[in-house]
Structure 1
Amino acid sequence: MSKEMLDALVVQRKAIAQRLEALDQEIYRTIAEQQRQGFHALSSATLKHIINENKGSLKVTDALMLSDISPATYYKTINEPFSVKVNSLQAVLDTVGLQLYVGPKQATQKDK
């Protein structure tokens, strides 16, 4: 293989590496955007809906046993989430396979 051919292959390889880097960055941006779109602002209504949606066939008695909280705390967490301790809320969410996240505030219709 001549030096010119080798040099041409090296140049092509560098160009491909740059294109791959650009594609990787686009993939990371797309994944991050999709993850942000999966977050929901917390309100009593959204929390209740999300928990019920993820609870599936899990009975309340089973959820109480798994979350290790009292029935009163469980119902208060579902119906008045802003009046319970974070660890109680997280216990209920953990029981249905969810986790509480804190992130930047997303614009709402009211904010616009």
Structure 2
Amino acid sequence: MTLLVFAATITTSCGSQKSSKKSATAGAEKKKPKKGGIQPYTKVITKDAKSDEGLFTVHQVEDKYFYEIPDSLFNREMLMVTRIAKTASGLGFGGGKQNTETLRWQRKNDNVF
């Protein structure tokens, strides 16, 4: 079982609020779906998604990125190394290590850290 994680930058903007009076027909209005709940996989990852498989699968849907992380990778430290695959002639060599980072995925309730 894998957990779909949303890893994107969230921006918020302030908007003006308009005050309005509730009418007698307010009870007839449609109920809006609750935000923040876990959505079905097929609703989030559509057929238009671009997917890249690797240690974990990364899905791009429009401007949002989703990570599909296997349960076996939670609570394990992983060493991520950045290497340059190829360089221009005379500017160093390909395969040289540039950066290392330790990554640890943790899940608490429906949140991933």
Normalised to the residue count of structure 1, the TM-score between the two structures is: 0.25
Larger % of strand: which?
2
Higher relative CO (CA 8 A, sep ≥ 6), structure 1 or 2? 2
